[in-house]
Chains A and B, each alone.
Chain A
Amino acid sequence: MEILMSVVIGILFMVATYLILTKSLLRIVIGTGIISHAVHLLILTMAGVKTGSPPLLGEEAALYTDPLPQALILTAIVISFGVTGFFCVLAYRAYKELGTDDMDQLRGNEHE
């Protein structure tokens, strides 16, 4: 299972890198969304995918699943959700103000 997950994470990173390197602003937004998604899956995989019973004291199991990665992912998801939301608004506003969503045209060195 971990091997499969690792491959999936690798593909997600690949897709995200490709999207972030494209010209269109909207694709970059999606790319950043996918890269944070890949990272969340990475935390889950790194801690080992489900090896024991739920981490509750009454279960009296020999092996418990580590609850910490899920807490970490929850925090990271909230943060990346907020940042993606902000990025969407920023991209929209930038498109409105600058009249383009092409990263090549957003270069510019002139200082006002």
Chain B
Amino acid sequence: MNNLIVLPIVLPIMTGIILIFFSKHIVVQRWLSLISLLAFIGIASSIVQQVYTEGIQTLYMGGWLPPFGIVFVADMFASLLVLTSGIVALSCLWFSFRGIGLDREKYYYYPFFQFLLTGVSGSFLTGDIFNLFVFFEVMLISSYALIVLGATKIQLRETIKYLVVNIVSSALFVASVAYLYAITGTLNMADLSVRVAEVGQTGLLNVVALMFLIVFSLKAGLFLYFWLPGSYSAPPTSIAAIFAGLLTKVGIYALFRTFTLIFYHQPEVTHQIIGWMAGATMILGAIGAIAFSDVRQVLAYNVVIAVGFIVFGLAAHTTAAVEGAIFYLINDMIIKALLFLLGGAMIGIAGTSHLQKMGGLIKYHPVLGWMFFIAAIALAGVPPLSGFIGKLLIVQGGLTAEMYWLVGISLATSLIVLYSIMKVFMHGFWGETKLSPKEEKGSDKGLLAPCAVLVFLSFALGLGADFFYPYIEIAAETLMDPTIYIQAVLKE
């Protein structure tokens, strides 16, 4: 029992509720949400430290022991992701002080931001599969509101599609939970793992596993990513950045959780399919990233590629691959948010998101340009930045698992990632300067500091890999060996 675990969920939701009462006092809202996020990060890091020293922490809601009550579990994987989401959210929040505009701030931007964070950290920490659905919905409903906030035509149009896709996938989620409950008679993830191991994962359970795969793939943008580029290019910068940083990652987390804890008995069926889906995602994402010459579209397709790459680590299912996937996941949360923020700053300055219409920004915005460059090479995995270690480990794991084709695809798409981001860099920052400082549509004043935080973190993750590696190792160990998780929750 550790009551600290519930704080990453309670703190943002309480802050969000309080913020509603200050809807017209923007300064109060800004300070309150900033302080709350700082406290969130403090709590999250102390949870990480506790898990590191004392092992997996659990909290039984209302004192009901599992498998009957709802349980919150903080293992290393979940708590690291909670901490990273806190940091990413902090940068995006800081960016939105100048980047989001007064109208949106007045119409409950900050409360929804906090509710989104509640849903994200709740999904990471819960140990009950129906509760996972509930937190998914908390997150999704806030994201519907955030994506349409401002109600421009393009936002309304894309929100309808995003909403329909997510309602259908949520319905499928509940349906698969129902089937799972009919077969096993429990919803607690640890207990599910025990029971699935007892009855053996055959026929029906494989079908349920594949239904979960479809549901989480829709949320994560794995193969079924058709909704993603449109939805992620509609909302304003800081919202798109928090979506790119957090939302798809929650889907990936759910995939990792279910397919390492519950449905890990028949990798030749499930993990094989996951592998193929990951490969297809990488290829299709790469095609999209090359095809478009619109900053937002290129970045959105890069989100898709990264999803495929991380899930490839899951499909390989060796210790090295899972370690690499965790490392790359954390790196990707930081870098994707950073790239969207920088891309948003670029679009703000140039007044267009079309690459052919901008150019030479680096002349008047050198810091922005070089930060974009650093983010680009970190994303592609050039050492010593953070992307490299994750990539190396995943490729190593893939080779051990003898998935040569997928390793080849992932390395080839890495080059394409580098090409597509460099295309943005070269067209946007180099070449003839098209706008003099007076003609620019916006400024980057106040927007660069939050990005610098993330750049620094990316450097820290890359150079201080030795320092972070023990944490990643513990996280991967828990994922590879479900008994650790089960014993911590059920305490047999």
Residues of A within 8 A of B (CB): 20, 25, 28, 32, 35-36, 38-40, 42-43, 46-47, 68-69, 72, 75-76, 79, 82-83, 86-87, 90-91, 93-94, 97-98, 106, 108, 111-112
Contacts and interface: CB of A to CB of B under 8 A. Distances in A.
Contact of A43 (B161, B170, B178): B178
Contacts of B145: 86
Contacts of B133: 76
A43 B178 CA distance: 5
A72 B128 CA distance: 12
Contacts of B175: 39, 42
A32 B168 CA distance: 7
Contacts of B467: none
B163 A87 contact: yes
Contact of B130 (A39, A40, A75): A75
Given A32-B164, A76-B174, 9 more contacts: A32-B167, A32-B168, A36-B167, A38-B171, A47-B181, A69-B178, A90-B144, A111-B154, A111-B294
> What are the 5 A-B residue pairs with the smallest beta carbon separation, nearest first?
A46-B182, A46-B178, A43-B178, A94-B156, A39-B174
B118 interface: no
Nearest to A109: B230
Interface string B230-245: 0001000000000000
A68 B151 CA distance: 40
B134 interface: yes
A75 B164 contact: no
A94 B174 contact: no
Interface of B: 130, 133-134, 137, 141, 144-145, 148, 151-154, 156-157, 159-161, 163-164, 167-168, 170-171, 174-175, 177-179, 181-182, 187, 233, 294, 296-297, 353-354
Nearest to A43: B178
B167 A35 contact: yes
Contacts of A112: 152-154
B181 A46 contact: yes
Given A36-B171, A97-B151, A90 B178 contact: no
A21 B187 CA distance: 32
B141 A86 contact: yes
Nearest to B354: A111
A39 B171 contact: yes
Contact of B137 (A20, A42, A79, A108): A79
A90 B181 contact: no
Nearest to A82: B141
Contact of A39 (B134, B178, B187, B233): B178
B182 A47 contact: yes
A110 to B, nearest CB: 8
A47 to B, nearest CB: 6
A90 B159 contact: yes
Given A46-B179, A75-B134, A90-B148, A83 B174 contact: no
B174 A20 contact: no
Contact of A98 (B156, B187, B233, B354): B156
A64 B270 CA distance: 36
A66 B463 CA distance: 54
B168 A35 contact: yes
Nearest to A95: B156
Contacts of A32: 164, 167-168, 171
A79 B157 CA distance: 23
A93 B151 contact: yes
Nearest to A16: B171
16 contacts: A35-B171, A36-B170, A38-B171, A39-B174, A43-B178, A47-B181, A75-B130, A79-B137, A79-B141, A86-B145, A94-B160, A98-B157, A106-B157, A106-B161, A111-B296, A112-B154
Given A75-B134, A76-B174, A79-B137, A111 B353 contact: yes
A86 B144 contact: yes
B134 A79 contact: yes
A20 B168 contact: yes
Contacts of A87: 163, 167
